[in-house]
């Protein structure tokens, strides 16, 4: 049994190494977005509590930092919690927020953030989150605000329609205050008012969704207009580095035309 497991592990490592060479030999996406889907269904299939699914999903998200650094991906946006997710039962939300708080505390002291010079920022409607979560997010953002080598965006209490609505309010306010002529509104005007406006590259080159579902669910609706989409038939807690690299290989084999 042990010999078989070691042999399987050896084959996996060889395959992983070969994939990595293929990925690094071509254009690597500068910005990827990932919709972390399938924690609860993974737990159901494993016959364990939903909380364990969320816990394992959080473990994969932490591993992802190393994978992206190794593959030289500069910007990552993770869809962690949507505004629609906030309609779940009070018990599940308490568990989710406790997990998010615990992992944010770990992130705050995670040496990789300083070692890789990662600027971390939350995007979403922060007012919908518990104060303790907001305080941790603010502390992480303050700690990393001067880093410019890598970017980690945590989409939490996020909805693409809400983001666009906030942008419209901002534009309308500027017009009402006489600071903006409606005839001068451009795509750049919009981009400057999105949650991701601080990024050097707001638009993901690649968006990955796990769990086999093939929809965006409100994720980066403006920014992802011309992103390449890859849907992976694996629940997020089971996502591996080779799944990430396969998605990147799919991206690399496509010809990006941006509507042209």
> E strand or H helix at 79, and its extent?
strand 75-82
d(CA 53, CA 238) in angstroms, rounded, equals 10
**Catalytic residue (one of 37, 39, 153, 205):** 37
**Catalytic residue (one of 39, 85, 135, 181):** 85
Burial zone of 132 (CB within 10 Å; 0-12 exposed, 13-18 middle, 19+ buried): middle
d(CA 202, CA 223) in angstroms, rounded, equals 6
- Paired strand residues for 206: 32, 228
Q: Reply yes or no on whether 37 is catalytic.
A: yes
3-state secondary structure of 120: strand
87's CB contacts (< 8 A; 6+ apart) are none
The residue assigned the tokens 């629609």 is: 84
d(CA 123, CA 129) in angstroms, rounded, equals 12
The span from the first CA to the last CA of the chain, in angstroms, equals 55
Q: Reply yes or no on whether 85 is catalytic.
A: yes
Q: What is the DSSP string of 163-208?
A: HHHHHHHHHHHHHHTTS--GGG--HHHHHTTSTTTTSS--S-SEEE
Closest CA to 76 of 160, 166, 186, 154: 154
**CB of 204 within 8 A of CB of 224?**
yes
Residues assigned a catalytic role: 37, 85
């Amino acid at each position: 049994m042990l010999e078989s497991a070691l042999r399987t592990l050896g084959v996996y490592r060889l395959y992983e190494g070969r994939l990595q060479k293929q990925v690094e030999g071509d254009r690597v996406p500068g910005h990827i977005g990932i919709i972390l889907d399938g924690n609860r269904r993974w737990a159901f299939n494993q016959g364990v509590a939903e909380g364990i699914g969320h816990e394992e999903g959080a473990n994969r998200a932490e591993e992802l930092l190393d994978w992206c650094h190794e593959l030289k991906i500069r910007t990552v946006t993770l869809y962690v919690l949507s505004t629609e997710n906030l309609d779940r039962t009070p018990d599940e939300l308490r568990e989710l927020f406790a997990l998010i708080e615990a992992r944010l505390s770990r992130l705050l002291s995670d040496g990789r953030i300083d070692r890789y010079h990662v600027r971390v920022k939350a995007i979403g409607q922060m007012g919908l989150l518990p104060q303790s979560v907001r305080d941790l997010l603010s502390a992480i953002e303050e700690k990393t605000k001067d880093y410019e080598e890598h970017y980690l965006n945590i989409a939490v209490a996020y909805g693409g329609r809400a983001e666009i609505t906030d942008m419209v309010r901002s534009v309308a306010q500027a017009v009402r205050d006489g600071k903006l002529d409606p005839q001068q509104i451009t795509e750049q005007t919009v981009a400057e008012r999105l949650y991701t406006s601080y990024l050097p590259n707001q638009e993901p080159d690649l968006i990955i969704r796990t769990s086999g579902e093939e929809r965006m669910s409100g994720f980066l609706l403006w920014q992802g207009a011309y992103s390449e989409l890859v849907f992976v038939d694996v629940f997020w807690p089971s996502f591996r580095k080779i799944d990430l690299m396969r998605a990147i290989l799919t991206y690399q084999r496509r010809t990006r035309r941006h509507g042209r």
